[in-house]
Structure 1
Amino acid sequence: MPTGTKKILILGGLGFIGKNLYKRLAHDGHTVTILTERIHSEADGFLTPAVRQHTLQGSILNPQLMNNLVAGFDVIFSLAGSSGAADSIRDPYHDLDTNLKGHLNILEACRQYNPGALLVFPSSRLVYGKPTANPVREDHPLQPESIYAIHKITTEHYYLLYQRLYGIRSVIFRIANPFGPYQRFGSNNYGILNWFIHKALVGEPIEIYGDGSQQRDFIYIDDLVEVLTRVMDTPAMAGNIYNAGAGAGISLRQAVEVIQRYIPATQVTFRPWPEIAKKIETGDYIADIGLLKQHTGWMPRTSFDAAMKETIAFYDRSNT
């Protein structure tokens, strides 16, 4: 529990991580403002009238908006941006704008109008590319396989540079594969487990590329949010990069077997890798979370089975 209430801005606050983070921070008594590029009604029921009162519409690509917005916040979670490694290959210039220029706007605004803010940036495990060994530590070579991953690495350096030059404190998390409630439903760009659950609930076969033996480190969103909130009360984290994952590997085939336990009619088919997907596939990934444990005492608390049960129940309720 935080030691004192803070004024917090979540950029991209209507995304998957942002929604869950907002709920936790509001529950803890903080004053939280959301900035989102689009405000629209959603089936998950998140945008209640109370939440709408704290939600602003605008883009991090608008430097004047950023200049006018950032002052006065204690903590800024920079969650806004585009997701999808394959999409970044198909449309690299869009990824360039949203995942590089937007974050420069945030940093420049803070440099001028709120240099005392603490910034939190969610990077990705994709910056490592194909791991040479598992579990992967933060000092593993960076070998990006997509434009998206290249831009994540570059943005990491932006945040660290602004800390060195201007004293703007930043914490960076290389997040594994988060899943849970409020992830965008019905698209494979926003989490493979979300996509699998969607397919199962609508009665369509789950498609797996290859034989399904590839392992991922799946972290439940409640555990990830706990990590993010600890930043606010752990000053020594500033200037560091941390892996954020469960620290364990689960194959896609095993994940589907858990889905089948709760949705027995689930069917699965295996198909050859599409060309682009095969080129950017990173292989097995398991995060070494030792540094995060050392600096915060954090440990993932939710079992994969329990997290999947809750996630399936949430989407089943939201789509009935």
Structure 2
Amino acid sequence: MSSLFSPITIGSVTARNRAWMSPMCQYSAAPAGEEMGRPTDWHDVHYASRGWGGVGAVIVEATAVTPEGRISPFDLSLHSDDSIPSFARLAKLIRSTGAVPGIQLGHAGRKASGPRPWDEARLVYPSSSEIGWEPVAPSAIGFSDMYMEPRELSDGEITALIESFAQATRRAVEAGFEIIELHGAHGYLIHQFLSPLSNTRTDRWGGDSRTAFPLAVLEAMRKETPGALAIRVSATDWCEFVDDRAGWTVADTVSFVREAKDLGLDFVDVSSGGNVPDVRIPAGPGYQVRFARDLAQTGVPTGTVGLITEAVQAEQIVRESADVVLLGRSLLSDPYLLQAWRTRLREEPAMAQPYHRQLTRY
């Protein structure tokens, strides 16, 4: 059996293989009203089809823990118990395909209230729209010229956000999600607290204590989930490789993950960048795999993502560098990509039962 298609156990959760669906925003939820932030028919079909395609786990897109934490007004949000049934339907659908249902919980911070990718490139603020809001962040530092300067969070607001993450985790578990992933990457709130380029606070949440809020969030989430607790990290701001700015580094990430392991972290999903808009990242096939290798020293199982497009490439990664590969754009273009990969790795296709006829030789 290939390594890619062998089972893996993360914490208390076992997935049928090591090729998982990466969380990718769909910007397809209602922006206001009673249905705000809830999964729609689009989400149900989108995620279930990738499950039937054969992935080991489906990690549902970034889901906000407060309405103001949404990346855009059209994002998912799990801020209310009233939303649990909609998310439970989605988790049940994913599980029915044989994939483990997972969900990514997060808060966009200074990158909140943005447009959908196909809309005008501007943030959706109250001055321009009834569905926008003022963003918040660890420090009053805007992400770029396109973004409004955020309001700095108070100590009390930060404490309340820890509870918001805990309650969203409780709701996700009640809905049936078995992998709960904290979004700590790509310049969103958790990453903003970690990086000295976006967190210039001098209180207990800044300076040498920039990891305090993310670690407190993980600790609170751990108390609410019996399943696998994961985090997606940006292993580096990339400044350490391209200029002399003192950003978040790979060494910082290794230290942070070691602390998180002591709090019960089961899995680290390794990405990079997203917090510094003017850094040019030298992307290429598997360009973030080296960071997963760096984090292997922590003893926490790792996954890697980023331009993983071929079966043999993915097989080599799970043999040599990471425990799991997370696939994104390739699954958007082909929900059944893994069936072709199984053939290339000399595995039998594992199509859904109603599709077996197409495998029959006449």
TM-score range, shorter chain: 0.3 to 0.5
Greater helix proportion: 1
User: Per chain length, whose mean CA-contact separation is higher, i.e. which structure has more relative contact order (CA < 8 Å, sep 6+)?
Assistant: 1
